[in-house]
Amino acid sequence: MKRVQRIGILTGGGDAPGLNAVIRAVTKTAIIEHGMEVVGIEDGFEGVMLNKFHLLQKHDVSGILTLGGTILGTSNKTNPYKYFDPKHPEATLKDLSKKALRNFAAMKIDCLVCIGGDGTMRIASRLFEDGLPVVGVPKTIDNDIIGTDVTFGFDTAVEIATEAIDRIHTTAMAHHRVMIVELMGRTAGWITLHAGVAGGGDILLIPEIPYFLDVICDKVKERSKKGKRFSIVVVSEGARPVDGNVVVKKIVQDPSQPVRLGGISFLLADQIEARTGLEARAVVLGHLQRGGTPSGFDRVLATQLGVGAVDLMTRQRFGYMVGVQGGKFVDVPFNEVSRGARLIPPDHVLIAAARSVGTCFGDR
């Protein structure tokens, strides 16, 4: 098979701290170790459809290791297989994959590096099936990609959320309030579980364990009776009651994942206040969890994954994503990755540890 000499790189889906560290690692490794040319595609698959790309040199990626966001830009609206034309929003989604493949051919790249979450990996997988050599790098603050134990961006999000919970503690204590902190994560509770344990949340509500409202209220009242004049509830945006549904914030033009969750903390604050008579307030951390400089851990992981992606290409392992399993870097086939989201197993060791120190998960 032809040696990979010129590669394309794009970032797809929502951003995550560490994207630039991956772009830097891929570009530098490709140029320094293998003398390759690197084409940076702008705004994810939008740049493919609109032919927005430019050559990346070493100096373009110098000094970006610590930067949040992505120097290439990203989009979670564009899927070449279900293309939404913003100029004609009334039109139905079209399969423009043939055009995408033609545009890739015009870029004269031998392989594409897709950095993204499960939506991006699904597109990458289809492009690979349609003949494009592609490798993947897993990205998301949600930590929910199948085939890898960890994604870059997650550690930073946990750090930010933990600091927020710490800050919420002091104001909760001062006002003797029940504070509800809502965190991201879509259908997975990884951020809530980790930040909730790190921040000492009293009640953690995650999508994987539907909650009973009366269990939450009993816990809050019990704490109050024991003289604890505040309680901290950390809730995932995707949490839901046993007898109810998730709270949907809005439906967006995202062919892979149109539902945006959000707002459960306000509902819970009203319900807890009404049932316990204790004052409650809600805080939604939102995109703060994705912004700013990546943690040291995420910079290291992102660098290793970027180097790993180039390694996949030189071994001609197209159709694979670089993942981490049991502390080792492994090749994960795209079709495995696109099976869905990696959720927390109910018997996870960290859930057990949290229960051991008295943390409530709202279940019976």
By the rule CB under 6 A, 139 interacts with ligand F6P: no
Q: Least distance from C-beta 153 to ligand F6P, angstroms?
A: 8
Q: Mask: binding to ligand F6P, 4-43, rule CB under 6 A, as x and -?
A: ----------x-----------------------------
One-letter amino acid of 49: M
User: Cβ closer to ligand F6P: 29 or 70?
Assistant: 70
CA distances from 307 to 290, 329, 334, 337 (A): 23, 11, 18, 20
Contact 216, 361 (CB under 8 A): no
Of 200 and 263, the one with the shorter C-beta distance to ligand F6P is 263
The distance of Cα 106 from the centroid of its chain, to the nearest Å, equals 31
Q: Decide whether 75 or 103 has the Cβ nearer to ligand F6P.
A: 75
List the one residue from 186, 194, 219, 342 that touches ligand F6P (CB under 6 A).
Answer: 186
Q: How near is the Cβ of 301 to ligand F6P at its closest, in Å? A: 17
Residue 43 catalytic?
no
Taking the complex as a whole, the smallest distance from the CB of residue 140 to ligand F6P amounts, in Å, to 5
Kindly state whether residue 348 participates in binding ligand F6P, applying the rule CB under 6 A.
Answer: no
The answer to the question of residue 192 lying near ligand F6P (CB under 6 A) is no
Phi, psi of 140 (to 5 degrees): 175, 145
Q: Are 298 and 19 in contact (CB under 8 A)?
A: no
Q: Does 113 bind ligand F6P (CB under 6 A)?
A: no
Region binding ligand F6P by CB under 6 A among candidate stretches 1-9, 49-57, 182-190, 355-363: 182-190
Of the candidate residues 27, 75, 125, 140, the single one contacting ligand F6P (CB under 6 A):
140
Catalytic residue among 15, 43, 110, 142: 142
76 or 97: whose CB is closer to ligand F6P? 76
- Smallest gap, in angstroms, from Cβ of residue 120 to ligand F6P? 11
CA–CA distance, 291 with 67 (Å, rounded to integer): 9
Cβ-contact 8, 70 below 8 angstroms: no
Q: With CB under 6 A as the contact rule, which of the stretches 30-38, 140-148, 194-202, 355-363 interacts with ligand F6P?
A: 140-148
Pick from 30, 34, 38: nearest CA to 108: 38
261 binds ligand F6P (CB under 6 A): yes
Q: Where does this chain bind ligand F6P (CB under 6 A)?
A: 14, 76, 117, 140-142, 184-186, 237, 260-261, 290
Q: Which residues are catalytic?
A: 142
